[in-house]
Protein backbone atom coordinates (compact mmCIF):
# COMPACT_ATOMS: atom_id res chain seq x y z
CA UNK A 1 0.00 0.00 0.00
CA UNK A 2 1.26 3.47 -0.87
CA UNK A 3 1.55 5.90 2.04
CA UNK A 4 -1.94 7.30 2.44
CA UNK A 5 -2.51 10.98 1.73
CA UNK A 6 -5.38 11.11 4.16
CA UNK A 7 -5.32 10.52 7.92
CA UNK A 8 -8.22 10.48 10.33
CA UNK A 9 -7.03 12.58 13.29
CA UNK A 10 -6.93 11.11 16.79
CA UNK A 11 -10.08 12.24 18.60
CA UNK A 12 -10.89 11.42 22.20
CA UNK A 13 -14.45 10.26 22.52
CA UNK A 14 -14.61 9.34 18.82
CA UNK A 15 -11.84 7.25 17.28
CA UNK A 16 -12.29 4.13 19.39
CA UNK A 17 -11.92 0.73 17.77
CA UNK A 18 -15.53 0.67 16.59
CA UNK A 19 -15.23 4.06 14.89
CA UNK A 20 -11.91 3.04 13.29
CA UNK A 21 -13.43 -0.23 12.04
CA UNK A 22 -16.19 1.81 10.42
CA UNK A 23 -13.66 4.20 8.88
CA UNK A 24 -11.75 1.26 7.46
CA UNK A 25 -14.92 -0.05 5.87
CA UNK A 26 -15.21 3.31 4.12
CA UNK A 27 -11.71 3.22 2.62
CA UNK A 28 -8.40 1.32 2.56
CA UNK A 29 -6.54 4.51 1.74
CA UNK A 30 -6.26 6.29 5.05
CA UNK A 31 -4.06 6.11 8.10
CA UNK A 32 -6.10 5.62 11.29
CA UNK A 33 -5.32 6.89 14.79
CA UNK A 34 -6.56 5.76 18.17
CA UNK A 35 -7.98 8.19 20.64
CA UNK A 36 -5.20 9.53 22.83
CA UNK A 37 -4.46 6.87 25.47
CA UNK A 38 -2.71 8.13 28.60
CA UNK A 39 0.28 6.32 30.02
CA UNK A 40 -1.59 5.96 33.33
CA UNK A 41 -4.40 4.15 31.55
CA UNK A 42 -2.00 1.63 30.05
CA UNK A 43 0.17 1.19 33.13
CA UNK A 44 -2.53 1.06 35.80
CA UNK A 45 -5.77 0.39 33.91
CA UNK A 46 -7.17 -2.20 31.52
CA UNK A 47 -4.31 -2.11 29.01
CA UNK A 48 -5.59 -5.06 26.98
CA UNK A 49 -8.89 -3.30 26.34
CA UNK A 50 -7.26 -0.01 25.39
CA UNK A 51 -4.69 -1.63 23.08
CA UNK A 52 -7.17 -3.91 21.31
CA UNK A 53 -7.86 -3.33 17.63
CA UNK A 54 -9.12 -5.30 14.66
CA UNK A 55 -6.53 -6.47 12.13
CA UNK A 56 -8.54 -4.81 9.36
CA UNK A 57 -7.64 -1.42 10.87
CA UNK A 58 -4.02 -1.53 9.59
CA UNK A 59 -2.35 0.85 9.09
CA UNK A 60 -3.22 2.19 12.53
CA UNK A 61 -1.31 4.38 14.97
CA UNK A 62 -1.48 4.41 18.75
CA UNK A 63 -1.46 7.91 20.18
CA UNK A 64 0.03 8.21 23.66
CA UNK A 65 -0.35 11.06 26.12
CA UNK A 66 1.85 11.57 29.15
CA UNK A 67 4.72 13.58 30.56
CA UNK A 68 7.11 11.01 32.03
CA UNK A 69 9.69 9.78 29.54
CA UNK A 70 10.19 6.35 31.11
CA UNK A 71 6.44 5.71 31.14
CA UNK A 72 6.07 6.88 27.54
CA UNK A 73 8.92 4.57 26.49
CA UNK A 74 7.34 1.64 28.33
CA UNK A 75 3.94 2.28 26.76
CA UNK A 76 5.45 2.74 23.29
CA UNK A 77 7.01 -0.73 23.62
CA UNK A 78 3.63 -2.13 24.65
CA UNK A 79 2.04 -0.52 21.64
CA UNK A 80 4.68 -1.91 19.31
CA UNK A 81 4.24 -5.38 20.82
CA UNK A 82 0.48 -5.09 20.30
CA UNK A 83 1.13 -4.58 16.58
CA UNK A 84 0.54 -0.89 15.99
CA UNK A 85 2.13 0.53 12.83
CA UNK A 86 3.10 3.81 14.47
CA UNK A 87 3.43 5.23 17.96
CA UNK A 88 2.34 8.86 18.00
CA UNK A 89 3.15 11.13 20.94
CA UNK A 90 0.68 13.85 21.80
CA UNK A 91 2.95 16.84 22.37
CA UNK A 92 0.13 19.36 22.45
CA UNK A 93 -3.12 19.49 20.53
CA UNK A 94 -6.10 21.82 20.13
CA UNK A 95 -8.38 19.60 22.23
CA UNK A 96 -8.63 20.98 25.80
CA UNK A 97 -10.00 17.62 26.92
CA UNK A 98 -6.99 15.75 25.53
CA UNK A 99 -4.55 18.20 27.09
CA UNK A 100 -6.08 18.04 30.55
CA UNK A 101 -6.24 14.24 30.43
CA UNK A 102 -2.62 13.84 29.40
CA UNK A 103 -0.94 16.62 31.38
CA UNK A 104 1.14 16.37 28.25
CA UNK A 105 4.28 18.05 27.06
CA UNK A 106 2.97 21.60 27.14
CA UNK A 107 2.60 21.58 30.94
C1 LIG B 1 -13.58 15.83 19.83
C2 LIG B 1 -12.11 16.00 19.53
C3 LIG B 1 -11.19 15.19 20.19
C4 LIG B 1 -9.83 15.32 19.92
N5 LIG B 1 -8.94 14.49 20.52
C6 LIG B 1 -7.65 14.55 20.19
C7 LIG B 1 -6.72 13.61 20.69
O8 LIG B 1 -7.06 12.71 21.47
N9 LIG B 1 -5.42 13.73 20.32
C10 LIG B 1 -5.00 14.72 19.44
O11 LIG B 1 -3.79 14.79 19.12
N12 LIG B 1 -5.87 15.58 18.91
C13 LIG B 1 -7.16 15.51 19.26
N14 LIG B 1 -8.04 16.38 18.70
C15 LIG B 1 -7.56 17.33 17.68
C16 LIG B 1 -7.72 16.71 16.30
O17 LIG B 1 -6.91 15.54 16.19
C18 LIG B 1 -7.32 17.68 15.20
O19 LIG B 1 -5.98 18.05 15.37
C20 LIG B 1 -8.15 18.92 15.24
O21 LIG B 1 -9.51 18.55 15.18
C22 LIG B 1 -7.81 19.89 14.08
O23 LIG B 1 -7.92 19.20 12.89
P24 LIG B 1 -7.98 20.00 11.51
O25 LIG B 1 -6.76 20.85 11.47
O26 LIG B 1 -7.99 18.96 10.44
O27 LIG B 1 -9.25 20.79 11.56
C28 LIG B 1 -9.38 16.28 18.98
C29 LIG B 1 -10.33 17.08 18.31
C30 LIG B 1 -11.66 16.95 18.58
C31 LIG B 1 -12.63 17.82 17.83
Q: Which residues of 27-37 are buried (b: 16+ CB within 10 A; e: fewer)?
A: eeebbbbbbbb
Domains of the chain, CATH where assigned: 6-102 (3.20.20.70)
Q: Ligand 1: does its nearest atom lie under 6 Å from the Cβ of 39? A: no
Per-residue pLDDT tens digits for 40-56: 999 999 999 999 999 99
Return the closest-CA partner of residue 16 out of 2, 43, 36: 36
Predicted local confidence at residue 23, as pLDDT: 97
Selected catalytic residue, list 19, 91, 93, 99: 93
Burial of 47 (0-12, 13-18, 19+ CB in 10 A): middle
pTM summary value? 0.89
Predicted local confidence at residue 72, as pLDDT: 97
Average pLDDT of the chain to the nearest whole number: 90
Low-confidence ranges of the chain (pLDDT < 70): 1-3, 94-95, 98-107
Predicted local confidence at residue 94, as pLDDT: 66
Amino acid sequence: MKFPRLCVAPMMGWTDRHCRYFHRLLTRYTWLYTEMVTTSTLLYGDAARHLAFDQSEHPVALQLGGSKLNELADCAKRGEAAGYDEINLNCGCPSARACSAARSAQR
